[in-house]
Amino acid sequence: MDSAFWHSRWENKQIGFHSDSFNVHLEKFWKSLSVAKGATVFVPLCGKTLDMLWLLKEGYKVIGVELSEIAIQDFFSENNLDYKTYDEGAFRYYSSGDLTILHGNFFDISEQEIGQCTACYDRASLIALPREMRQRYVDKLKKFHKMASQQLLVTLEYDQSIKNGPPFSVSIDDVHALYTDTHTIKLSYETEIIDEMIGFQKAGVTSITERVFTIT
């Protein structure tokens, strides 16, 4: 997968992965991380997720990074938020109060951009990446030790031989392989969601397990 794939998805509004409501797992399990109010939370591959608004409402500062400028501009316009922009380093910054979204490539992120973050929320980042890109993604997160020490991760697992992603299938073993050497992993919740995934049903997938992990 390359940048052109995601730009095409946003340009053609093929964004079935976007939700028009807050994620129920964020609302239920975020508090288990004990992230101090006022702390800065990193949201990688953020798209135009409303979960950033939930974090702001709960008293956090938020930094997101997103490859598609369409997604970023949609987020601010759809939520009636004024913003300022400026360019610095590899990114264009979109800023509104305690929220900043960086337009650019996640893999270009450095300490300069997210060094102040103390937690990470990953609902749709790891599962957006094919297997061959995941280790590089996690290794990048781990470089920022303070931020990577508190993460809420949401994954999906299904038979990918029937339908390929994205979103891609990520198993419990996959999560442990990526994080066990440096982090403690807790499976906080799992549930069957095939009834919510019409496209997967039509493709012949009969089961999708959604899981929530806290990684510390």
Which residues contribute to the annotated binding site? 10, 45, 66, 123
- Please classify residue 129 by burial: count the beta carbons closer than 10 Å to its beta carbon, then call 0-12 exposed, 13-18 middle and 19+ buried: buried
Distance from C-alpha of 27 to C-alpha of 4, rounded to nearest angstrom: 33
CA–CA dist 32, 29 (Å, integer): 5
- Binding site for S-adenosyl-L-methionine, by residue number, is 10, 45, 66, 123
Closest to 123 (Cα-Cα) out of 51, 199, 198: 51
d(CA 112, CA 76): 24
